[in-house]
Amino acid sequence: MISENVTGADNQQERLQHISDEIGYYLSGFANGEGSFNISVVKRQSDYQRGWKIVASFNISQRDPTIPFLFQKTLECGTIRFRRDGVCYFEIRKIADIDQIVREFFNKFPLKSDRQAFRLKCLLEVTSLMMTQSHLHKAGLKQVLVIRESMISNRKRKYQITDVLQDPQRLYARLT
């Protein structure tokens, strides 16, 4: 079958055509139960203008490496790591891959859980901001942090919005 779509890495519809419905829905269901959609804030004093790095990620982990490797093979991106405790960890942190590949995959194979679908929506909103580099400015950074706060989390955040938004020079002086 010949497609009328332009071929190439930028055309995600072409890129995802190789994924069968069986594998796609299986992986989507797996991510629905075991996947993690995250926005992290990492303190960086010297190499970031505002003193903070925003890290967006999608990951899954399992003791048996079969599913993590299947995710990597199917999505054609991401990294595999093995933790010291023997757990295999698949992760996508590259913003363009999240913005394009993860977005297209879950558009084609939607999550069923409202909670996970909401977390994915938040992740994709943040990656859109990061693709335009809005997060590098105070207003965009604040928008990212507000979205991050809306991502329901059962643990206490190490850094609050006020910590991240204050002047980096004042923060650095307080920490030293």
Q: What is the mean pLDDT of the segment spanning 96-125?
A: 96
Is the separation of the CB atoms in 137 and 145 below 8 Å? no
More confident position, 67 or 174: 67
The full set of domains in the chain, from first to last, is 13-175 (3.10.28.10)
Indicate the SS3 state at residue 61: strand
pLDDT tens per residue across span 72-97: 999 999 999 999 999 999 999 999 99
The yes-or-no verdict on residue 173 having pLDDT over 50 is no
Q: What is the mean pLDDT of the segment spanning 1-14?
A: 45
